[in-house]
């Protein structure tokens, strides 16, 4: 299973297994990674699973869709490589993915 590394705002790291076909948000929730709320349950409609993708990984993960963009755009914490983790599908190409968590989910 592809490995995903979540880095909390305070620097604490969590490396978890992601299940192919599920989302990176699911991987965080299933492994009790703190700092991902996922209030809408993965519908791309709340922005509380916000992650900042490591720059090196951003081209692999890719840009947000229009709907995701409209949610990210509302977020004052947004960074250039921000994504909603419920919209990143786990696949073999992202094995080793590094994402950082914002200080707070909004």
Partner 1 sequence: MSEAIDRTATLTDSDPATVPLDRIEIWRPDRFENYTFWPYFARLRKEDPVHYTPESPYGAFWSITKFDDIMHVDTHHEIFSSEGGITIEDDDPEFELPMFIAMDPPKHDLQRKTVSGVVAPPNLAKLEGTIRERAGRILDSLPVGETINWVDKVSIELTAQMLATLFDFPFEDRRKLTYWSDMAVADASSGLYESVDHQRAELLACLEYFTRLWNERVNTVGGNDLISMLAHGESTRNMPPMEYLGNLILLIVGGNDTTRNSISGGVLALNQNPNEYAKLRANPGLIPNMVSEIIRWQTPLSHMRRRALSDTELRGKKIKKGDKVVMWYVSGNRDEEAIENPEAFLIDRPKARQHLSFGFGIHRCMGNRLAEMQLRVVWEEILKRFRMVEVVGEPVRVRSNFIKGYSQLPVRLHRL
Q: How many residues of this chain interact with partner 1, rule: CB under 8 A?
A: 21
Q: Which DSSP category does 29 fall into?
A: H
3-state secondary structure string, 47-102? Answer: CCCEEEECCCCHHHHCCCCHHHHHHHCCCCCCCCCEEEHHHCECCHHHCCEEEECC
41 binds partner 1 (CB under 8 A): yes
**Which listed residue (77, 79, 89, 96) binds partner 1 by CB under 8 A?**
77
**Which listed residue (12, 34, 56, 67) binds partner 1 by CB under 8 A?**
67
Q: Are 26 and 98 in contact (CB under 8 A)?
A: no
103 binds partner 1 (CB under 8 A): yes
Q: Cα-flanking dihedrals φ and ψ of residue 68, to 5°?
A: -65, -40
Q: Which CB atom, from 50 or from 83, has the smaller least distance to partner 1?
A: 50
72 binds partner 1 (CB under 8 A): no
79 binds partner 1 (CB under 8 A): no
19 binds partner 1 (CB under 8 A): no
């Amino acid at each position: 299973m592809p490995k995903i590394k979540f880095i909390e705002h305070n620097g604490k790291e969590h490396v978890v297994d992601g299940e192919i076909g599920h989302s990176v948000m699911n991987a965080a929730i299933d492994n009790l990674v703190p700092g991902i709320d996922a209030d809408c349950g993965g519908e791309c409609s709340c922005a509380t699973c916000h992650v900042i993708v490591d720059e090196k990984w951003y081209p692999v993960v890719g840009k947000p869709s229009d709907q995701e963009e409209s949610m990210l755009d509302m977020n004052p914490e947004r960074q250039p490589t921000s994504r909603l983790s419920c919209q990143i599908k786990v696949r073999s190409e992202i094995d080793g993915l590094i994402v950082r968590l914002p200080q707070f989910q909004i």
